[in-house]
């Protein structure tokens, strides 16, 4: 499967748009979280940072694991073209 030149240019422009967009455009500010973090001491700020890491780590590792499994199993679903019967190539 080859990517055509206009599609490649479109993908690159879309990636550039996402990279150049301001960070606050992607975040939504929770008023309760903001006020709690603003009025918190150093222990509370450290607890918030730890909580963010704890909530981000499992989905990240699961995504990496899924990509690894898909990469390892990628050749098991492919069939050579000569093994397909002549009438089954729809």
pLDDT score for 64: 95
pLDDT tens readout for residues 28-70: 567 777 777 778 788 888 888 888 888 888 999 999 999 999 8
Once rounded to an integer, what is the mean pLDDT over residues 7-34? 72
- CA-wise closest residue to 17 among 25, 29, 27: 25
The Cα–Cα gap between 3 and 11 comes to 10
Domain range annotation of the chain: 46-75
Most distant CA atoms of the chain, gap in Å: 72
**Percent of the chain with pLDDT strictly greater than 70:** 69
CA distances from 28 to 18, 19, 58 (A): 16, 18, 22
Give 30-41 as a DSSP string.
-HHHHHHHHH--
Q: Would you call 36 helix, strand, or coil by DSSP?
A: helix
| The model scores a pTM over 0.85 | no
The Cα–Cα gap between 68 and 73 comes to 9
């Amino acid at each position: 499967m080859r990517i055509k030149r206009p599609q490649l240019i479109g993908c690159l422009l879309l990636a550039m748009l996402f990279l150049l967009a301001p960070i606050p455009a992607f975040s939504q500010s929770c008023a309760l979280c903001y006020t709690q973090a603003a009025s918190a001491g150093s222990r509370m700020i450290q607890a918030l940072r730890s909580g963010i890491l704890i909530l981000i780590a499992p989905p990240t590792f699961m995504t990496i694991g899924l990509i690894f499994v898909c990469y390892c199993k990628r050749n098991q679903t492919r069939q050579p073209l000569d093994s397909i019967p002549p009438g089954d190539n729809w």
